[in-house]
Amino acid sequence: MKVNVLTGGPLACVPQTIFEQKDERWCGVDYGAIELINHGIDPLLAIGDFDTATAAERLQVEEHSYQFVYRPLKDDITDTELALRYLFAHYPIDQLNLYGATGARMDQLLANLFFILKPEYREQVERITIIDRWNEIRFFKPGCHQLKRNPQMKYLAFIPLTAVDGLVLPDEKYQLQRTDFDFPVALSSNEFVGEKATFSFERGILMTVQSCD
């Protein structure tokens, strides 16, 4: 199943067309749940500490959500990661689109990118896509992969998040022969030649970003 997740990040960074997807399954994280309800979407799951919500708003979320998980106490993970941990544990998810995870606070952006490196998400990394108005971010384990071009995006970046061995870019605008990277680096401003781009690598975790100005 596919689940869309809206966090409490700035709505200015979120594609406004997401609120037209009323028939899809949604999870609202913290204030993201309130935004979903305000746009006529009753979330499958609402989860978080709701520390920026009023008591009336929290009650509204509880009444309009199929499942409500209130976590008032802080611990070692963010509300977003709590939501993903809960969703993967309780639902048969094969695709998770995460909205509201970029923009504003840099520490929250980094938290939303780096959690993917935790061992508990090893099996889920390729099911997660982070989407905002300018970027579509995906994560990959070793192997041979093919990306489909998003027609709204111009640029394509390959970003090793760990040491990566044997990265090959055979059919992009700027090709790369087998190359090892010992540390994270951003291979930015590449582009698709056709409608698909192939790449492969042998070790590590790789992030791809399709983006536009």
User: pLDDT at position 71, please?
Assistant: 86
Residue 180 has pLDDT above 70, yes or no: yes
Average pLDDT over every residue of 130-135: 97
Mean pLDDT of the chain: 95
Q: Does domain 1-133 have CATH number 3.40.50.10240?
A: yes
User: pLDDT at position 104, please?
Assistant: 82
User: pLDDT at position 211, please?
Assistant: 98
Extended strands (E) in 63-127: 68-70, 95-99
CB environment 154-172: b (16+ within 10 A), e (fewer): ebbbbbbbeebeebbbeeb
Q: Where are the domains of the chain?
A: 1-133, 135-213
Average pLDDT over every residue of 171-180: 98
pTM: 0.94
User: pLDDT at position 74, please?
Assistant: 65
Strand partners, 168: 200
Q: Read off the tokens for 72.
A: 């008032």
- Say how many C-beta atoms besides its own lie within 10 A of residue 137's C-beta: 22
Percent of the chain past pLDDT 70, that is, above it, reads 100
User: pLDDT at position 11, please?
Assistant: 93
User: pLDDT at position 19, please?
Assistant: 95
Task: Please tell me which residue, 32 or 103, carries the higher pLDDT value.
Answer: 32
Is 135-213 in the same CATH topology as 1-133?
Answer: yes
DSSP letters, 106-121, are HHHHHHHHHGGGSGGG
Dist CA 114 CA 8 (whole Å): 18
Dist CA 125 CA 96 (whole Å): 10
- Say how many C-beta atoms besides its own lie within 10 A of residue 189's C-beta: 12
Task: Please tell me which residue, 198 or 55, carries the higher pLDDT value.
Answer: 198
Selection from 201, 212, 79, 49 nearest residue 140 by Cα: 201
User: pLDDT at position 126, please?
Assistant: 97
User: pLDDT at position 77, please?
Assistant: 83
Q: Give residues with Cβ within 8 angstroms of 102, minimum separation 6.
A: 9, 13, 109, 112, 130, 132, 135
- The CATH class, in words, for 135-213 is alpha beta
What number of helices (H) and strands (E) belong to the chain?
Answer: 4, 14
Find the angle CA(127)-CA(148)-CA(159) to the nearest 5 degrees.
65
Average pLDDT over every residue of 27-44: 96
Give the strand order in the sheet containing 196-201: 143-148, 196-201, 164-169, 176-181
